[in-house]
Chains A and B, each alone.
Chain A
Amino acid sequence: MKSKDPQQNYELTKKAIGYVDRKDATQADYDRIGFMSGLEVHQQLATKEKLFCRCPAGIYQKEDEFDAELLRHMRPTLSELGEYDGTALMEFKTRKNIVYRISNKTACTYDVDDTPPFPINEEALHLALEIALVSKLNIVGEVHITRKQYLDGSIPTGFQRTAILGIEGEIPLKNKKIRIIQLSVEEDSCREVSDIGHTRIYRTDRLGMPLIETVTYPDMTNPDEVMEACNYIRFLNRSTGKVRIGIGAGREDVNVSCKGGTRIEIKGVAHTKWIPELTHVECFRQWALLAIREKLTSRCKKQDWKMSYTELDPKAFNFYYTPITQAIKRKEKLYAVNLPSFGELLSHFTQPGKAFYDEFIHRLKVIACIERPNMVSSEDLEDVVSQNVFQKVQALLKAGENDAQIIFWAAEEDVKTALDVIEERALMTFDGVPNETRKSFVDGTTIFERVLPGADRMYPDTDSAPIPLDNSLIERLRQNIPDEVAERYNQLNEWKVPEDCYHYLFTHNYFPHIRAIVENIGLCPKFTAIFFGHKLKHLHGKFKTIPFDIHRIYDMFAYLKQENIDLAIADKILNQLFKHPKMDFESILNILKFKKMKKEEIISRIKFIEEKFHPQRNDTNDIDKKNSIMGQLRSISIGNINLSELANHI
């Protein structure tokens, strides 16, 4: 019945929508599909305590390290119009058991929603305000705590307490300006331990830690701009020196849409470098979904579309595919579904390595709680079930030429939801791109993660009073703030610091150290920046961590200056600092067998060495002679005389 081989159809459709790899994509490609992207950059603040309770922040527990567990269900609440989000309600009906693992050290009764919030952590509020000031936002006059609903259980209350501190700003990229919508301070969510079947387990250690969220307008028109904007915002946050660094301390949600598509939120992107590939692939995925819609609507009207299904008797089929034989062993039900007019759509390209049927698979997993693999289709790119089976199914369901079929397996109580999920997703195909949040993978592809909560998910927090921000407070905070990242960029440019240093310097916020060394010790800015951006970076990478207090670099240069020792020895001292983080500089110089000598004394030795220079070969020239003399004087010279100065003398 199938006219095309699925693999062949996949390749053809990939070509038909004009998919290009990112490395080959040009601005014209992005303009053609209407690439549009905005960012929500999250950054944890380096506070001692959590935002709305007095638990310590930044202490993490292992997955199996907990003192108590408790169980909750999240129930959808009525929207403004008094309606429930259909899928949210469906997800609720499958009853996801949310289990929280609590450690007494890191969570209290507030964290698990058994005690109302304590007053907001002032340290966090002030840090966040400083960053809002650095971001040049319009600062609000009074902070109102708002509840933002989440039904996935990642926050035990079912909502995140969040508050706007500033709105409307802009950041300068190389070629354009990106507008900022707002900056808010909010509580972090739980960390997921596992999500299997009907049970999702969370840890509550990260829950409630203060973070800020910077939201941009969707002003980015290609993947590289998204990354550039993201880096800028992260560097800006870090420039205050008051944010957490390390894995998970900064995370991004990336919003992407194509022309005619929908704003899709790719959640929790942990590495900025993943952003270009993710946004590229997502934009084309939407473009593909629109192409699928075109094909479907040309075949059939939404209101006329009706799917049919039947339970399969395992005995009537010869299944060899292990997931199916195991499901039969577990006494699960086996169902076949006919999707009229979906022929050649299930194998339609959506993402590299993923076809349209993939959209069904992940919804079955998340909403109907059926672990993968949970279905096969008549158009799978890899045949795991023989075509004979599908021919039999097609006959059973009286399927037409243009139809496609899905076979899924599920515990009896999940069958109803599974059928609803398949029908719902199939009907969404008529509308194009469904609203959802998606989970990212390193290869740039994404999968369905959650149904996007409805528009009315913001409620005032009746448990907290508004917090006035008077001018005197704002002025006081303004005194603490560093110069803007843009100015630092310009400064590094003026100093002619190579660009490959920038990322490392901003990521670790070393600019203030460099400036202090330049201003107070009088070192050459370019030399100092390269010392951090190349030499320190190299050793940092090699040793994985910096074992000494970073201020020791300043102290080292101050010491060298004071002792009138040439800076060339700094590289060697830095090496020793990684091995002996606490050793004083004099001892390090001893290890290096450094002896203080006057320049004149070294220079005076040149003549002596030159006289002893007896070439062993006949073809030696003056350069060899010079190198030989340099070589012999090098060890005593480093730290005592600049080597190029020495060379001149020779």
Chain B
Amino acid sequence: MSEDIFQGYKGRALELLKKYNVHVWDNAEIESTRGHFSGKVLPRAENTDDKHIVIKLITGYNVGIDIETVTGMTSTRVPQPVFKIPEKQFPYTKGLPHVKLLGTGGTIASRLDYRTGAVIPAFSPGELYGAVPELADICNLDTEKIFAVFSENMGPKQYIALAKKIGEEIEKGIEGIVIGHGTDTLHHTGAALSFMCQNLPVPVVLVGSQRSSDRPSSDAALNLMHAMTAAGHGNIAEVLVCMFGPTSDEYGFLHKGTRVRKMHSSYRSTFRTIGDTPVATVTRKGVFPIKEDYHPRRKDRNVKIIPTFDDRVTMLYYYTGMKPDILDAIVDNGYKGVVWVGTGLGHINKEMYPAVERAKAAGVHQYMTLQTIWGYVDMFVYDTGRDMMAKGIIPAGNMLPEVAFIKLGWALGQTDDPEEVKRLMLTPINDEITPREPYNGYLVYQGGVPEVEDFIRNVHK
């Protein structure tokens, strides 16, 4: 009961509201030693102090009142406002492809409840149409909310559910699938679905936004339009991540789910293909392939869904002076797979060796990936590398650490046999290991030199 009428208030602030019988959403008149304030009492955000009451002034601004200064309060009760995103019938257009949008809880389209600060996600086709009417020019849309979790809470269970759902939709004849997803672990899901959904006849496009859609400069609407275009009209039938190319509103990239990584905490253009070029660019006009050897769209429905995952897999990011007891503890706790993230070409210190051997003896599968992100593991260059391989660590080529982690979980979900696991790990499904690194696969330019500055000045960043 008290939670309803005093939302979020605790301690002394709560006592004060009770004392004057003032509820959240009331229109309050507050006398204080700093003068008179009047406005609507708002809920108090969690994890804030118990020393202030928040009100919304008539001008729309929020302010906090220090409870120490309050000398009196009166209020008028008003019902709690209800906010809802309006729904407009998503129009059906003959001749446009059918695309299914699967929701995982990311807020690809949403609006902020301006009174509480809470985000109301827009998700149904009607709501999305209300927010991004241009979508109706791209495809016929159907949506389904699979679960509502934040990106960081996505995990094996969700990957499996998504993979099965994709299989069902393809069997039913859908022409493209878009998955709305928080951006933090978008590339983990991209990898998981690449392994779980093989031989796709239609595109499966993962999309998110770096700026929520309640702001005018959001990338959400354009990302969504790009994703729908790629799913409905594109010819690349793979698991793709669709996000901004440059930070400018110009074009999106389609990245392979197995080679993509989030590279900046907040930039719009945060997703980059590592060790290769993106598969294609995408604008509202269509998909423009960069790579020629993609898997094209097919009429058949012969998708292969392998929804397995053993979550007794972990990653170990090597640091100098790392102690072997870490690995021992992992083995003792029953983990079956370890993806090492080693230095340089793929190294860890000698002190770890006995623990590595013990882990191998305990049947733990160990693979080596790189902290450098770019490049190949090469354990033949130095003796130490050869030592490690002898002790049971298998080099994973230029597979990205997170991708190797996902793949090991997926492989161990199918078999325990070391040779079979190794075969699964080292046989690329969609370029998670590439036979070669093209010259333009590693481009991390540094500012300050004239040629780079010229480029930045002349091309929209």
Q: What is the interface of chain A, defined by CB distance below 8 A to chain B?
A: 66-78, 80-83, 104, 109, 112-116, 137-144, 146-147, 149-151, 156-159, 162-164, 167-168, 181-182, 184, 455-460, 462, 465-466, 468-471, 474
Contacts of A156 in B (CB 8 A): 217
Residues A141 and B34 in contact in the complex (CB < 8 Å), given A83-B86, A167-B57, A466-B52: yes
Contacts of B37 in A (CB 8 A): 138, 140, 167
Residues A158 and B217 in contact in the complex (CB < 8 Å), given A112-B247, A114-B247, A141-B52: yes
Whether, in the assembled complex, B85 has its beta carbon less than 8 Å from a beta carbon of chain A, the answer is yes
What are 25 pairs between A and B in contact, CB < 8 Å?
Answer: A68-B456, A69-B457, A70-B248, A71-B249, A72-B248, A74-B216, A75-B216, A77-B215, A78-B111, A138-B37, A141-B34, A141-B69, A142-B63, A143-B64, A146-B62, A151-B216, A158-B216, A159-B216, A167-B35, A182-B61, A458-B59, A460-B112, A468-B49, A470-B66, A471-B69
Report the count of interface residues on B (CB-CB < 8 A). 59
In the assembled complex, the CB of B331 is this many whole angstroms from the nearest CB of chain A, namely 40
A326 to B54, CA, bound (A): 60
| B215 near A157: Cβ-Cβ < 8 Å | yes
Name the one of B111, B114, B447, B461 contacting A69, with C-beta atoms under 8 angstroms: B461
| B65 near A141: Cβ-Cβ < 8 Å | yes
Residues A144 and B461 in contact in the complex (CB < 8 Å), given A82-B84, A156-B217, A158-B215: no
In the assembled complex, the CB of A37 is this many whole angstroms from the nearest CB of chain B, namely 18
Query: Which residues of chain B from 293 to 339 have any CB-CB distance to chain A below 8 Å in the complex?
Result: none
A113 to B269, CA, bound (A): 12
Q: B68: nearest residue on chain A (CB-CB)?
A: A471
| A113 near B211: Cβ-Cβ < 8 Å | yes
Q: What is the interface of chain B, defined by CB distance below 8 A to chain A?
A: 32, 34-37, 45, 48-49, 51-52, 54, 57, 59-69, 83-86, 111-112, 114, 116-117, 119, 130-131, 211, 213-218, 221-222, 246-250, 264, 266-268, 447, 453, 456-457, 460-461
| B266 near A184: Cβ-Cβ < 8 Å | no
Q: A140: nearest residue on chain B (CB-CB)?
A: B63
Residues A70 and B217 in contact in the complex (CB < 8 Å), given A144-B64, A168-B35, A468-B66: no
Q: B66: nearest residue on chain A (CB-CB)?
A: A141
A112 to B248, CA, bound (A): 10
A74 to B218, CA, bound (A): 8
Contacts of B211 in A (CB 8 A): 113
A597 to B60, CA, bound (A): 71
A455 to B114, CA, bound (A): 12
Q: Besides the contacts A83-B86, A168-B35, what 5 more A-B pairs have beta carbons closer than 8 Å?
A: A71-B249, A140-B63, A142-B52, A456-B60, A466-B48
Contacts of B112 in A (CB 8 A): 459-460, 462
Contacts of B60 in A (CB 8 A): 146, 455-458
Contacts of A474 in B (CB 8 A): 34
| B266 near A138: Cβ-Cβ < 8 Å | no
| B460 near A469: Cβ-Cβ < 8 Å | no
In the assembled complex, the CB of B47 is this many whole angstroms from the nearest CB of chain A, namely 9
A75 to B86, CA, bound (A): 17
Name the one of A76, A137, A146 contacting B216, with C-beta atoms under 8 angstroms: A76
| B461 near A70: Cβ-Cβ < 8 Å | yes
| B216 near A142: Cβ-Cβ < 8 Å | no
Q: A152: nearest residue on chain B (CB-CB)?
A: B216
In the assembled complex, the CB of B264 is this many whole angstroms from the nearest CB of chain A, namely 8
Contacts of A164 in B (CB 8 A): 57, 59, 61-63
| A75 near B57: Cβ-Cβ < 8 Å | no
Contacts of B117 in A (CB 8 A): 459-460, 462
A387 to B35, CA, bound (A): 66
A109 to B329, CA, bound (A): 42
Residues A460 and B62 in contact in the complex (CB < 8 Å), given A70-B248, A114-B247: yes
Contacts of A147 in B (CB 8 A): 215
Contacts of B130 in A (CB 8 A): 78, 82
In the assembled complex, the CB of B67 is this many whole angstroms from the nearest CB of chain A, namely 8
Name the one of B83, B216, B246, B461 contacting A77, with C-beta atoms under 8 angstroms: B216
Contacts of B86 in A (CB 8 A): 78, 81-83
| A68 near B457: Cβ-Cβ < 8 Å | yes
Contacts of B460 in A (CB 8 A): 69-71
Q: A215: nearest residue on chain B (CB-CB)?
A: B59
Q: Which of A76, A164, A459 has the most CB of B within 10 A?
A: A459
| A184 near B248: Cβ-Cβ < 8 Å | no
| B114 near A460: Cβ-Cβ < 8 Å | yes
Q: Which of B211, B248, B447 has the most CB of A within 10 A?
A: B248
In the assembled complex, the CB of B30 is this many whole angstroms from the nearest CB of chain A, namely 10
Q: A181: nearest residue on chain B (CB-CB)?
A: B59
